[in-house]
Amino acid sequence: MADPTGASIRIDDAALRRLLGGLAASAEDMTDLMVQLAGQMELDTQRRFEEQRGPDGNPWPPSLRALTQNGETLTDTARLRQSIGSRVTRNTAEVGTNVVYAAIHQFGGTVQMPERQQTLYWHHRGDTGSADWQSSRTFKDWKFSKRSRANYSEVHTVKAHSITMPARPFLGINEAGMAVLGEIARDWLAGAAGLGAAS
């Protein structure tokens, strides 16, 4: 569900009137319509994660993790993707996420990282019983490891630095998306007026 600390997009009754070229809604309570519009916007948002591109059709700049691990950008743990939700009232439909880091991905920006201590973990593949095993740091003997599998660790100081992240917009409505929302709204209005689906 949308939250001010995350990011969201909203369709309200004023936007709907503009979408329909000034056509007035034929009912005071448009909750059913808003549920349909929110569902379509959620579907469009999920499709962007699959296609790895923004509402404007431009591909997202690939993340370093995606490049090195042959993975997908913005889909490491899938927490962001799975957090996409909607909120509707009788005249608004909103789709967004309450994940705090969503905004930096949506809009881009610079993150200031303070100095910190970080423990690095390694696993030594050779004989750890020898006296000099820790000094034999050849590539074939050592590899980075999860803490649970490590047999050696070191604490390092990571200096304060900044990270600039490009915008990778996953929320938004393009022209084609607005056309689909318009068709949904017209069909709903026609049904509300007892005319059947709009042609």
- Full residue range of the structural domain in which residue 137 is found: 115-159
- Cβ–Cβ under 8 Å, residues 101 and 74: no
pLDDT in tens, 36-68: 999 999 999 999 999 999 999 999 999 988 888
Q: Are residues 128 and 32 in the same domain?
A: no
Of 163, 196, 134, 181, the residue nearest 10 (C-alpha): 181
Query: Is 42 contained in some domain?
Result: yes
Q: Are residues 15 and 59 in the same domain?
A: yes
Q: Are residues 100 and 39 in the same domain?
A: yes
Q: Are residues 90 and 123 in the same domain?
A: no
Q: Are residues 170 and 151 in the same domain?
A: no
Q: Are residues 147 and 52 in the same domain?
A: no
How many independent structural domains does the chain possess? Answer: 2
Task: Compute the distance between CA of residue 174 and CA of residue 115 in angstroms, rounded to an integer.
Answer: 41
pLDDT in tens, 15-37: 666 666 544 545 567 889 999 99
Q: Are residues 140 and 60 in the same domain?
A: no
Backbone φ and ψ of 109, nearest 5° = 150, -175
pLDDT in tens, 91-141: 899 999 999 999 999 999 998 888 889 888 877 766 555 555 555 555 566
